[in-house]
Amino acid sequence: MNPKLSVNVNKVATLRNARGGNNPDVIKVALDCELFGADGITVHPRPDERHIRYDDVRQLSRLVTTEFNIEGYPSESFLRLVEEVKPAQVTLVPDPPDVLTSNNGWNTRENFHQLKEVTARLKAGGMRVSLFLNPTPEMVEHAALCGADRIELYTEQYAVLYPQNPEQAIKPYAETAHVAIQAGLGINAGHDLDLHNLHYLRINLPGLLEVSIGHALICDALYYGLRDTVSMYKNCLLPDLMM
């Protein structure tokens, strides 16, 4: 099976919110991404609703027919939201409300009891739980012990190093993935993945099940159009690149 492509529509909501109103229509864009071949839709609501709003999440939960993935910090308001809409997957991210974007993975040892409690709560509601992690093998053991189903590898370091040295860029991710597989965890990846670095990640990261991509995909859609851009990213997830 090829890894799934989940399109993060936060940037579409950012553009909408810049002018008010409903242009572009976040819900329509998400549904069009599905129509054009995306395997899932990702959103990351934050308390200030500076991009995706809680009402967007509720609307999407009723209309998305592929896999719905909600990312966020496990505050009580976030947990109540996901328990209300029950997405297929909840990706827990350790970002405080004031950060611009997710920029670090969980320390699963230091936050073990919190993560174990939240994971159990979400799984009791029938949701798959993924933990956002740096490519650090020692964090994987506690991710498994707290009951998570998957990890999402934070790929900014990979994206930064890839143009200079792809082999060195992927090395810590492959090592972490091997440990995760042994621990029985599924593997997702996301952050700064694009048309240049995605295929190399796909063929060199063992066990990859899903990538979540927003910023680069929406930027590319300005030039290629949304339909063709989704298709291009899907092609990057094939065993042999077809561009």
Which residues does the annotation mark as catalytic? Answer: 44, 71, 191
Other beta carbons less than 10 A from residue 240's beta carbon:
7
| 24 cis-preceded (ω within 30 degrees of 0) | yes
DSSP string, 81-117: HHHHH--SEEEE----TT-SS------TTTTHHHHHH
> Nearest-CA neighbor of 14 among 64, 55, 49?
49
Determine the Cα–Cα distance for residues 222 and 118; give it in Å rounded to an integer: 38
Please check whether residue 69 is in contact with residue 91, taking contact to mean a CB–CB distance below 8 angstroms: yes
Please give the single-letter amino acid code of residue 232.
M
